[in-house]
Chain A
Amino acid sequence: MKLNRRAIFGGITAGTLAFGLAACGGGDDSDTGADGDMVSGEINGSGASFPDAYYAAAIEAYAEVNPDLIVTYNAVGSGTGKSEFGEGLNDFAGTDSLVGDDDGVEAGSFQYIPTVAAPITVSYNLPGVEGLQLDQDTLANIFQGAITTWNDPAIAATNEGVTLPDTAITIAHRSDGSGTTANFTKFLDEATDVWTLGSGDEVTWPEGSIGGEKNTGVAQVITQTEGAIGYVDLADATETGLMTASIENAEGAFIQPTLEATTAALDGAEVNEDLSYNPLNAAGAETYPIVAPTYILLHTEYEDETVAAGVKEFVNYLITDGQDIATDNYFAPLPDSLREQAVTALNDTIA
């Protein structure tokens, strides 16, 4: 059955291609996308679970645009995604972190394409206290266990007029290795001098802190524990109804984690030549300082041209028309400048 269908699709593609070539002659524009030729086939990607909600929604929406190209994405984690990419097991990989030396991906054999970004909220459970404001040093001290009660003078200093209880602070963190942890700790590491726990997918948290499985687990821990504070993605924080703290940004303003403040952070971030960028603590008065980027890794060379065309078309959809879907899933779309760079890079990588 499946074979038959593929054979038929193959036949149709070959037919349309031949027809397209004959019809267009020399004057075709090489843009893929909404005009004309639709690519068919199957492509699969795997990697980061952080953007999975967006990718899943985008794949669903894309199926209506072009039902002939079947896209699958497995949220197996950035690390696994990258090593599968290195072994050629997937056609594209999703990753929250940049490619390192021991990831199994050869330098120069890949291209980053940024897709979306999302704020990492600092959520807390402290009945009666709304609109908590935290400066960067205090945030670091809370998460490394140096500040242990909510009525600590350091917290009170940025929250005038708020009555803070003497409840003990419970740190809630991810128990699984996570790009969210990596970005959050990287922010604390880069932005403050006081942070001592280093940064990475896992960090050795202070004793007595509680780990939750994935974002949902951390959100659960916070809901269930009075006095808890933890870092959660915006989707889970919003859907669980958690209180989010305003965090001091690079220019000293206290900003709530919103999608607008996130896009503002991307606008303020410096983009490297390989299209990787660091949106943490970015410049700008309106920017939220803790923002996690996510990328798609493309091979610079594909063996199969149909696969290459399929990947190109789908990724193109992700960074153009699909961006509207992002906000519905609590992801911030790319600002125009970065989006244009991404489209150019995509067209350069896969001709």
Chain B
Amino acid sequence: MTATAPPEAPPEVDLGGEARSRRTDKGFTGLVTLAGLTVLIVLGLILVTTSVQAWPAIAEGPIQFLTGSTWDPNDELFGTLPFLYGTLVTSLIAMIVAVPVSIGIALFITEVAHRRSRKYIVTVVDLLATVPSVVFGLVGSIVLIPWVTPLYQWWAGVVAPVPGLNAIFDETNTGRNYFTAGLILAVMCIPIITSISREVFATVPEIDKQGAYALGATRWEMITGAILPHSFGGLVGASMLGLGRAMGETIAVALVIGGSLGINANLFAPGNTMAAVIAQQWGESSGLHTDALIGIGVVLFAITVLINFLARIVVQRAELQMKGARS
């Protein structure tokens, strides 16, 4: 190869000229920046327009709007605390159930499952994500609820003598409650958290894992020592996406939560969430009631942003600690 004639001098090949390529480069940069800004602009517009529309309802008493526990459109009393409580409680239940299960599935797929069966499991989990949420709600209200109601009643009986637990799991006559909604949300979050966790685990350098094995670690020790510290930030991110879905989920929750107003420590009591109440009451609302419903949307939006922000801080701190301790 070296013996052949030298190639034609590069400058003679016209690539469009330096000026033009620089222009294209600039144009591209501008275009991509614009695309990036679109997200910000859209978010900003949503926040501004919803806030403006919700203002008449919120202005009557911003504190009352957030902390009031009476929601009575007839008397134009709008307190969103019961819905806020419902959203947080159901999302918390969903997270408690979904995060360990999803991480388990992801670890199973990346570390334990046989290479050939791996892709089938991935497909099945991803399929779960394609089921429309209204289907989850219908299955919940028609199939799950009659089935779990006796279970709830049995469990309430079992923990009745235990102080603390008997307040959380109290008597019930219905399966339409926070707990069922939390379970349905958990199932809906699992595919999201799983597939991101799987991607995160895949980024763990092979050398870390082999290093752990070389030091005599068992598989469990390798997972806790090499994989989890490396993936912590990603796992929190995955959980946050799941949490976002859980907090914003509307119709599945509306169908199973029982739609009643109240703040109840009993997880087996019917309640309501912010997203669900907007969907339920929107169609027949008017005037100040409509504004108040939009106001709920603003609060939900603010809380989601706040939680994501907190999560980011948690990730940054934890990553520093973990990397410092283990590397």
Binding site for B on A (CB under 8 A): 49, 76-80, 82-83, 100, 102-104, 168, 170, 173-179, 198-205, 207-213, 217, 220-221, 224-227
Contacts and interface: CB of A to CB of B under 8 A. Distances in A.
Interface residues of B, number: 38
Contacts of B174: 170, 210, 221, 224-225
A178 B280 CA distance: 9
A174 to B, nearest CB: 8
A77 B284 contact: yes
A168 B173 contact: yes
A168 B258 CA distance: 18
Contacts of B285: 79, 177, 201
Contacts of B259: 173-176, 210-213
B242 interface: no
Contacts of B113: none
| Consensus secondary structure, chain A interface | loop
Contacts, number: 121
A141 to B, nearest CB: 19
A201 B73 contact: yes
28 contacts: A79-B283, A103-B286, A103-B287, A173-B259, A175-B272, A175-B280, A177-B73, A177-B280, A177-B283, A177-B285, A200-B73, A201-B281, A202-B71, A202-B72, A202-B74, A204-B72, A204-B261, A208-B260, A210-B174, A210-B259, A211-B259, A211-B260, A212-B176, A217-B141, A220-B142, A221-B174, A225-B173, A227-B173
Nearest to B283: A77
Contact of B282 (A77, A168, A170): A77
Contacts of A78: 283-284
Given A175-B280, A224-B174, A224-B175, A204 B71 contact: yes
A175 B254 contact: yes
A168 B171 CA distance: 12
B88 interface: no
Nearest to B262: A207
B14 interface: no
Nearest to B269: A208
B311 interface: no
Given A202-B281, A210-B270, A225-B173, A102 B286 contact: yes
A217 B259 CA distance: 11
A226 B153 CA distance: 13
A80 B282 contact: yes
A202 B260 contact: no
